[in-house]
Amino acid sequence: MTDNNIKTFEEAATFHGHVCPGLALGYRVGKKALEWLDANRAEDEEIVAVVENDSCAVDAIQVLTGCTYGKGNLIHKDTGKRVYTFFNRARGKGIRIVEDYVVMESPDTKALFAKSRSGAATPEEMKQFEEIRAKKIKEILSAPDDTFITAEETNEPPPAKARIFETLRCDACGEKVMAPKAVRLPGKILCRDCSEKQ
């Protein structure tokens, strides 16, 4: 793998909108996946990512790996687990990564986090919170992989390539819907929203 196209953490943050520990974790997972698969960022569907959560980490994974919903090579398997599986179609390789970063937070830090999220933190508390968060991000970005990442080869086949479906028009609202998502009733085609109103 050549790393001349490895995106930086700053590029991931620009895409995501801010820096946070979850983004840093996803950055490390995406980087590990590319290294293990011996792959560059996907231009099309060369790499597939199956993510099992919808956390901030997934934005970093998209930026690093080039796996996106629009290309059909980012698949959300909603288990809520911090598990990510990547496939390199050309090499027939797959890797399952479990992220297990352990956050040792005191009750005071948890309370500070809650106050910052609710908007109740004072400027001094926000400064303290940002310092704690910056330290945590730095720690994640520099920690050895084996301290929080478990990576194992998978023999699962990669998901099928993205398919392009016919577009239909809902007979009730007039909005377009992909054919496999349309609900067919006698004499009409409906989107799911309109079918639920029947």
Q: What is the CATH number of the domain that holds 97?
A: 3.30.1330.130
Q: Is 123 helix (H, G, I), strand (E, B) or coil?
A: helix
Q: pTM, whole model, 2 decimals?
A: 0.85
* pLDDT-based confidence at residue 198 (cuts at 50, 70, 90): confident
**Beta-ladder partners of 185:** 188
Residues 61 and 147 in one domain: yes
Is residue 174 assigned to a domain? yes
Under a CB-based contact definition with an 8 Å cutoff, are residues 16 and 45 in contact? no
Q: How far is residue 47 from each of residues 65, 109, 129, 157, measured CA to CA in Å?
A: 7, 38, 37, 12
- Please count the structural domains in the chain: 2
Residue-range definition of the domain harbouring residue 87: 9-101+143-153
Any idea which residue has 């099928």 for tokens? 160
Is residue 123 assigned to a domain? no
Is 1's pLDDT higher than 60? Answer: no
Q: What is the pLDDT of residues 130-170, one digit of tens each?
A: 999 999 999 999 999 999 999 999 999 999 888 889 999 99
Task: Quote the CA–CA distance of 51 and 161 in Å, as a whole number.
Answer: 16
Long-range CB contacts for residues 139-144, cutoff 8 Å, separation at least 24: 140/21, 140/24, 140/25, 140/28, 140/101, 141/9, 141/24, 141/27, 141/28, 143/28, 143/101
Q: What is the pLDDT of residues 71-104, one digit of tens each?
A: 999 999 999 999 999 999 988 899 999 999 987 7
Residues 96 and 184 in one domain: no
Is residue 115 assigned to a domain? no
Is residue 128 assigned to a domain? no
Is residue 162 assigned to a domain? no
